[in-house]
Structure formats: C-alpha cells, structure tokens
C-alpha cells in the first residue's frame, strides 16, 4: 500500500470542503514543527507530498492523500503556535472537532509528539478532543534520533504514564525517527492492519 502511487485529493479549510467518505481513513496530527511533514514523506517514500512548514500557522487545511481507492491519509493542520490569534485557534478547534465527530470511516488518528519534549499542555488539548469525540488514536514519538537513548526512554515512560490516565483504551505508542527510519515499518504495519480490519 505504501509503495502505491499517492495522489493528492483535496485540501479542506473547513468541513464543507471535506471529500466524500470512502474506504478507510487514517489521520496524522501534531504540534507544528513536531515532524509531521517529514513523517508523511518518510512513510510514503515521497518528498514534498506533505506540506512543508514554511510559514507556521498559515496552512490550516486538512490535506487528503489517496493511495488506493479504499485508503485515505489525512494530514491535519498543525496546532500550538504560541503567537496564533485566538480566533484562528478557535476556528481550528471547531474544524477539527467537526471533522472528528462526523468521520465514521476515520479508523485511527496518530498523534505526533516530539520525542525530545514529550506530551505538553497543547498536546493534552488535542488528546482531550480525541477522547471526547471517542476517536481511536495512537501516539507517535518523533525525532528519536535527536536525543540520547536514555533520555528518549524516559520520554517514552513518561508518555506511557500520561496516556494511561486517559479514557482511551491503551493507545499504542510508536517511537520513530524520519531521519533514521526507526519505527516506520511498525507504523506502516499498524496502518496496514487497520485496512485489513
């Protein structure tokens, strides 16, 4: 599936522009600069498939890619810009909430967390949204190559503890690096399993 030809489907600034629900959908979300574009590119083996984070906060669309008629990958807009105006943040939350609530074919949301920093307050907010919408999610710890092994292990443990306190039933945690490729086969396999379900 990941070797397939990827097609850009659409960029939806609000829920009115969402493409029709078709097949299984998997979405990636994370704080800006967490490494989401790099991960999309690493997973699909294509550069520049995901938006590049040139101007933080400017791209607020949900971007849809299709690999097969029955599989859609969704690059959700980044969050957590310290300087983002409140109305922008509110609009983001409204769009995301509406998307999460209405998308019955959304099989899993992968929440990207910076492996150097762990779960921060802004990440807790998206996890709250996901818990409230009862959407199934998993955690992807990014940039594992950027910290010492012991430090990364500490972030992983801390993440497990924070996640355990949430209502979602045992979300999986994937340690990854788009730079070295660590964890990418496991992540691809997890996505492939969703398609097979």
- Interacting residues toward ligand GDP by CB under 6 A: 30, 32-38, 53, 78, 142-143, 145-146, 177-179
Phi-psi region of 15 (alpha: psi -120 to 50; beta: other; left: phi over 0): alpha
Q: How far is the CB of 53 from ligand GDP (least distance, A)?
A: 3
Q: Which is nearer to ligand GDP, 120 or 164 (CB)?
A: 120
Q: Which is nearer to ligand GDP, 80 or 171 (CB)?
A: 80
d(CA 138, CA 173): 6
3-state secondary structure (DSSP) of residue 39 = helix
Rounded to the nearest 5 percent, the helix, strand and coil shares of the chain are: 35, 25, 40
Q: How far is the CB of 4 from ligand GDP (least distance, A)?
A: 22
Count helices and strands (H / E) in the chain.
5, 7
Q: How far is the CB of 22 from ligand GDP (least distance, A)?
A: 25
User: Around Cβ 69, how many Cβ atoms within 10 Å?
Assistant: 8
Q: How far is the CB of 33 from ligand GDP (least distance, A)?
A: 4
Q: Which is nearer to ligand GDP, 51 or 97 (CB)?
A: 51
Q: Going along the chain, which residue ranges are E strands?
A: 7-12, 24-30, 62-68, 71-75, 106-114, 137-142, 173-175
Q: How far is the CB of 42 from ligand GDP (least distance, A)?
A: 8
Q: Which is nearer to ligand GDP, 72 or 113 (CB)?
A: 113
Q: Which is nearer to ligand GDP, 54 or 104 (CB)?
A: 54
d(CA 191, CA 194): 5
């Amino acid at each position: 599936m990941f070797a397939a030809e990827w097609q850009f489907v659409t960029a939806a600034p609000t829920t009115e522009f969402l493409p029709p629900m078709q097949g299984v959908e998997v979405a990636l979300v994370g704080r800006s600069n967490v490494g989401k574009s790099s991960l999309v590119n690493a997973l699909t083996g294509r550069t520049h498939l995901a938006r590049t984070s040139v101007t933080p906060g400017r791209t607020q669309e949900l971007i849809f890619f299709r690999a097969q008629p029955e599989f859609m990958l969704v690059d959700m807009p980044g969050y957590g810009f310290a300087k983002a105006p409140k109305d922008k943040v509110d609009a983001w939350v409204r769009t995301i909430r509406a998307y999460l609530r209405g998308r019955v074919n959304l099989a899993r949301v992968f929440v990207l967390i910076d492996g150097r920093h762990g779960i921060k307050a802004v990440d807790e907010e998206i996890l709250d949204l996901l818990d409230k919408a009862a959407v199934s999610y998993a955690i992807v710890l990014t940039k594992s190559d950027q910290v010492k092994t012991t430090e990364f292990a500490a972030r992983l443990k801390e993440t497990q503890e924070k996640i355990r306190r949430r209502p979602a039933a045992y979300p999986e945690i994937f340690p990854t690096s788009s730079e070295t490729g660590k964890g990418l086969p496991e992540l691809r396999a997890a996505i492939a399993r969703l398609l097979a379900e």
